[in-house]
Amino acid sequence: MANAFVAAFEILSFGAIIVLIVLGLGIIASMMGIFNFAQGEFVLLGAYITYLAYAKGLPIWAGMVAAPFVVGALGFVLEALIIRRFYAAPIVAMLGTYALGLIIREAVRGLIGGFYLTVPEPIGGSIDIGAMHISAWRFTIIVITLLVMGLCYLLLSRTSFGLRVRATLENPSLARASGISTPLIYGATFAFGAALAGLAGALIVPVFSLFADLGLRFLIQGFVAVMVGGVGSFIGPVAGAGVIGTLSAALPWVMAPVVADVLVFVLAIVFIKFRPQGLIAGKGV
Amino acid sequence: MLKRMSVVRGAIVADADDEADGAMAEGTAAEQANGRVKAGRKILPIVEGVVLVAALLAPLVLQDYLTVFATRVVILALFALSFDLVWGYAGIMSFGQALFFGSAGYGVALLARDLDITNIFLVLPAGMLIGLTFALLLGGFLLLGRHPSSVIFVSLGTLTGSYAADRLARGWYYLGGQNGIPSIAPMSLGSYEFSEGPAFYYLVLGILVVVYLLCRFLVRSQFGLALAGLRENEQRIAFFGYKAQHLKAIIFTIGGAVAGLAGSLYAFHEGFVWPNMVGVVVSTQVVLYVLFGGSGTLIGAVIGAVIVEGVSFWLSDNYRDIWPIILGLLLLLVILFRPLGLISFVLGERERVGSFGAKVKEKRDAP
């Protein structure tokens, strides 16, 4: 019983991490139709900023708060300078963002060297429920993920900014004709997606420690999750991330980890092949 | 069939002409442009010739350790050729080309380790066959089907395949896990063993030249014409009655075979294989070569591999840390401002598209 509970918690917390990472990727993919290869590096950057705050003696939570803003601002600048040119050509966008990611990754690698740097958890210890102990920080990640998901949903479905974003997604030329500044919306959305990645990086760095290939590890999982969930909606990538995150965390409990790893990808690709529109088809929130 | 081809040719030439339209506004300008194009037609063979001569002379002027390095570069150029065939000619973004490269490398390494087979006439075809089989399976699955697959799906599918293979190789004890398979016996021909050095270099160069010529013949054939049409406008080609998906699957499989050949040579040259060889890192590396050099020209892929590897070898002594950053910046600049790669500095668009089939005789005195 206790074991099953711990397993369920592990699965849930890993699923939450994947959801957090995929959220930004999914928003950018749905809005702009481009798959951002630099998203993993935005995660890395968020993690690095948190580490930097810790290394400079600032409180860790300060770094975690700063990370999404800094990464978001960088995303906004990059969108205006570079990404904007790629909207018409999704493949070129992949290559361009890959080049961007390469630059960021190698720059961070140069800064931290080839080390694995650890950042302590801002909320340490464990929560005891009866005889079971669960990590307090992982629990916090789950809570924050739920909060962020809820806020994103409200932002997109209830605010006037969200309305504009959805209008731009639905029909860009009509949105432009209605007086919505679509370039600004695109820029803001990209920055928002980047900020979410930065937040994800900041939150997971105590769990995974900081190394240059941190982002790469999640990038492909993120892509697969977005495709499984379905591009074009808010809820699609979240659902996909839930499925992929749960599967990748749950399967190693019942079979050899190597086989599980590969099986998740094979299942996902087969699924996408036969249902290209993903779990949840259609546009909207 | 022939008539269909000429329609396609018309369509492609029309596409190429669109870009030259400005220059052809007046009659005289048209003649000038014509002359320029004719002069331009000769550049590609010159570039190819220069590269070939440079490659032939390289071992004579290079020190031994540089010859070993040059051999590696030539093998990687062969690998780049396979990607160029797939991306530059058929417009299939294969982010998992290393899957075929690496699996062939692993395959021949296992042949050498477990069965003591190192004969060149057995291992190289075996490597090609492995690459071909994997490409046929993966390409068949990703590309064929009732609905045409989106280009995003194919690129992410190949990327995922490569990543999954990487994970599998890392975790599978039989394949050596993280360490790969070390100290593979050298490739042999009778009692002669190919070790690093000029002999291996010329062997690899010979293979590269043969494969290059075959590829060149392929892409300049009627099949290549259909492929070029596919790259320029897939829908139009489908409307002409071609089975676009089949064409793609065929070229993807051929690309896999070439990658497999390169992979088996690489395994024997380095003497070991390791999980990175099937993984995302090498997959993206080959994309870099071709983008740098210029996709869709064959020679651009070769030049790209030589430049990227050469410069990184040269810089890695002093600027090891910042070289990847420079590479990323350069790549970004090339994508933004020179989407056709470095080769486009000397090669015109018309020559890149090329001429196809038998020469059409000009009828000057026709009414």
Domain residue spans of chain A: 2-274
Closest by CA position to B298, among listed B10, B9, B52: B52
Q: Is residue B192 part of a domain?
A: yes
Instruction: List chain B residues with CB under 8 Å of A265.
Output: 160-161, 163-164
Instruction: List chain B residues with CB under 8 Å of A91.
Output: 93, 151-152, 155
* Kind and range of the H or E run holding A128: strand A126-129
Instruction: List chain A residues with CB under 8 Å of B335.
Output: 92, 95-96, 99
What b/e string do you get for B203-242 counting C-beta neighbours within 10 Å, with b at 16 or more?
Answer: bbbebbeebbeebbebbbebbbbbbbbbbbebebbbeeeb
Closest by CA position to B328, among listed A95, A176, A117, A206: A95
Q: What is the CATH number of the domain that holds B49?
A: 1.10.3470
Q: Is residue B174 part of a domain?
A: yes
Q: Is residue B89 part of a domain?
A: yes
**pTM for the whole structure:** 0.81
A-contacting residues of B 77-116, CB under 8 Å? 93
Q: Is residue B91 part of a domain?
A: yes
Question: How far apart are the CA of B43 and the nearest CA of chain A, in angstroms?
Answer: 27
Kindly report, residue by residue over B294-350, the tens digit of the pLDDT: 887 888 888 888 888 888 888 777 777 777 788 888 888 888 887 777 777 777 666
Among B141, B324, B328, beta carbon nearest to A273 = B141
Question: How far apart are the CA of B357 and the nearest CA of chain A, in angstroms?
Answer: 30
* Kind and range of the H or E run holding A132: strand A132-135
Q: Is residue B225 part of a domain?
A: yes
Q: Is residue B175 part of a domain?
A: yes
Maximum pairwise Cα distance, chain A: 62
| Residue-level pLDDT, tens digit, chain A, 285 residues | 667 777 788 888 888 888 888 888 888 888 777 888 888 899 999 989 988 888 888 888 888 888 899 999 999 999 888 888 887 777 788 888 888 988 888 888 888 877 777 777 777 777 777 667 777 888 888 888 889 888 988 888 889 888 888 888 888 888 889 888 888 888 988 999 999 999 988 888 888 878 877 777 788 888 888 888 888 777 888 888 888 888 888 887 788 777 888 888 888 888 888 887 777 776 656
User: Domain residues for B149?
Assistant: 42-353
Phi-psi region of B181 (alpha: psi -120 to 50; beta: other; left: phi over 0): beta
Instruction: List chain B residues with CB under 8 Å of A269.
Output: 142, 157, 160-161
| Range list of H helices, chain B | 2-20, 27-40, 43-61, 64-83, 97-114, 120-143, 151-171, 198-219, 222-232, 234-239, 244-270, 280-293, 299-315, 323-337, 349-353
Among B145, B152, B157, beta carbon nearest to A90 = B152
Tokens of B95: 């982010």
Q: Is residue B164 part of a domain?
A: yes
Q: Do A99 and B157 touch (CB under 8 A)?
A: no
**Interacting residues of A274 by C-beta distance below 8 A, sequence separation 6+:** none
Q: Do B335 and A90 touch (CB under 8 A)?
A: no
Closest by CA position to A201, among listed A59, A13, A48: A48
**Interacting residues of B355 by C-beta distance below 8 A, sequence separation 6+:** B41, B220
Q: Do A273 and B167 touch (CB under 8 A)?
A: no
Q: Is residue B62 part of a domain?
A: yes
CATH number of A2-274: 1.10.3470
Instruction: List chain B residues with CB under 8 Å of A224.
Output: 156, 160
**What is the tally of structural domains in chain B?**
1
Among B160, B167, B172, beta carbon nearest to A224 = B160
